[in-house]
Amino acid sequence: MIRRWSFVFSVATLIGYLLIPLLINQIFYTHLAILIGIHAILAVSVYLMLKIGQLSLAQAGFMGIGAYASALLTRDAGVPFELAFFLAGAIPALIAGVVGPLLMRTKGVHFVLLTFAFGEVIVLIFVEWTSLFGGNNGISAIPPASILGLQLIAPSSFLILTAILLSIILLCCHVAFAGDLGVVVEGLERNEALQSSLGVNALAYRCLIFSGSAFIAGLSGSLYAHYLSFISPEAFGFWTTVNALILNVIGGAQFLMGPFLGALLLAPLPEIFREWVHYQRVLYGVALLLLMRGLPQGFLGLILSRLGGRGNR
């Protein structure tokens, strides 16, 4: 029962997320909603890794690879947006697929440290390889997204693209985890040795998830690049991943809707309270601390425990 309700609730939230800004029809709210969507997609990629019990700090780096790939392919190589958008996911996924078997030999703390270093290396490459990536100045004049010849210049049309993409990603994750993959992944988090003894190739599955999470992070990067039409390396640093992690913790890191809920709550704050950005950092930190102490399941956990069930995982 609670399962079905939480599914209905999720769909309703997504529809509300898309419709409310469109009905208000003010650029500022549409802008907020697009940012929420981009942050939420990155947060989902962090969520996927948390699902197998690993924290990857390279996700913003993958987002950056997607952003730069998409920007350069459309602007300089004349690749149509649809293809560039797909490649923005595929290239980081491929890179994750190659380094995955190496990084994934380690687990827990070692994995966190290695992905941290890997993410920093990605940003360093953006900064230093100036001829291709433009260094600290970044890349500007990125063409807007266009689907089948229709240019998505108006923010509302871009919001529709973001919302559809977010919904597809959430739905794919939901369907994938409802099946065999979900069982395997849950087993990997709880007891990998047991899982391996049943003939599951644990490393392959973990690499698959790592690759998938890089794919999603890359897509969020492409959205980011074509929405802002300007990207620079510092947007894809360590703290971007940390923010995505915070969205998970605050929303509820064990629920698929957790990252999205966290983004709904937190992503608008820096835009609304512009003058208070520094205070906000402190507030974020304090909120994170208090949540870790008092509400380790996040807000969604709180709501669902009130309803008396574990809900839509």
Partner 1 sequence: MLVQTLVIAATSSAYMMLLALGFTLIFGLMRIVNFAHGEFVMLGAYAVYVLTVPCGLNYFVAIPLAGLFAGLCGVVAERLIFRPFLGDELGAMITSLALAIILQGAVMIVFTVDQLSVPRPISGVLHFGSIYLPNDQIFVAGSSFLVVIAFHFLVHHTRLGLALRAVAQDTEIARAYGMAPSVILPLAFGIGCVLAGLAGALTVPLYAVNPFMGEAALLKAFIVVVLGGLGSLPGAMIAAVILGTTDAVISVWFSATMATLVSFVLVVIILIVKPSGLWGRA
Q: Which is nearer to partner 1, 79 or 287 (CB)?
A: 287
Residue 40 CB, shortest distance to partner 1, in Å, is 19
The C-alpha angle with vertex 228 and arms to 222 and 232, in degrees rounded to 5, equals 75
Q: Which is nearer to partner 1, 26 or 136 (CB)?
A: 136
Q: Which is nearer to partner 1, 44 or 114 (CB)?
A: 114
Tokens coding 244:
């995505």
Q: Which is nearer to partner 1, 19 or 289 (CB)?
A: 289
Residue 266 CB, shortest distance to partner 1, in Å, is 13
What residue ranges in the chain does DSSP mark as E strands?
Answer: 139-140, 146-147, 150-151, 230-231
Which one-letter DSSP state was computed for residue 143?
P
Residue 54 CB, shortest distance to partner 1, in Å, is 9
CA atoms within 13 Å, Cβ hemisphere of 199: 0
Residue 94 CB, shortest distance to partner 1, in Å, is 18
Burial classification of residue 88, based on how many CB atoms lie within 10 Å of its CB (0-12 exposed, 13-18 middle, 19 or more buried)? buried
Rg for the chain, CA atoms, rounded: 19
Residue 105 CB, shortest distance to partner 1, in Å, is 6
Q: Which is nearer to partner 1, 37 or 138 (CB)?
A: 138
Element spanning 95, H or E: helix 81-103
Question: Site residues (CB under 8 A) for partner 1?
Answer: 55, 102-103, 105-106, 108-110, 112-114, 116-118, 120-121, 124-125, 127-128, 237-238, 242, 245, 249, 278-286, 288-289, 292-293, 296
Residue 74's identity, in one-letter code, is T
Residue 237 CB, shortest distance to partner 1, in Å, is 8
Q: Which is nearer to partner 1, 164 or 282 (CB)?
A: 282
φ, ψ dihedrals at 237, nearest 5°: -80, -175
